[in-house]
Amino acid sequence: MSTPRQIKNQFNELLIKLIQTGLSSDQNFPFERKKQGGEIEVAFPGAEHTSVAMKDVYYPKIYQHLERERAFLVKMLDGGLIQMMYEFKNERLKRHRLAFFSSPYLEKFQNNPEIYIEDEVYADIIAKNIVSFPIRFDYDASNNRHIEMHHPKSHLTLGQYQNCRIPVSAPLMPHHFMDFILRNFYNTAHRKYSDQLNGFRGYFPNSIVSAEKEIIHVQIPTG
Closest CA to 84 of 153, 123, 22, 28: 28
Is 219 inside any structural domain? no
User: How would DSSP label each residue in 18-80?
Assistant: HHHTT-EEEE---EEEE-GGGEEEEE-TTGGGGGGGGSS--HHHHHHHHHHTT--SEEETTS-
Is 223 inside any structural domain? no
What average pLDDT does the segment 202-222 reach? 94
Is 204 inside any structural domain? yes
Indicate if the pLDDT at residue 117 is higher than 70.
Answer: no
What's the pLDDT tens digit per position in 61-98? 999 999 999 999 999 988 999 999 999 998 899 999 99
* Lowest pLDDT segment from 60-69, 84-93, 99-108, 134-143: 99-108
Is 124 inside any structural domain? yes
The bridge status of strand 31-34 relative to strand 92-101 is: unpaired
Structure confidence at residue 223 as a pLDDT band (50, 70, 90): low
Closest CA to 59 of 151, 161, 182: 161
Query: What CA–CA distance (Å, rounded) separates 36 from 113?
Result: 51
Domain with 25 in it: 4-213
Is 222 inside any structural domain? no
What average pLDDT does the segment 153-174 reach? 95
Is 220 inside any structural domain? no
Is 221 inside any structural domain? no
| Number of domains the chain is built from | 1
* Lowest pLDDT segment from 50-54, 159-163, 186-190, 203-207: 50-54
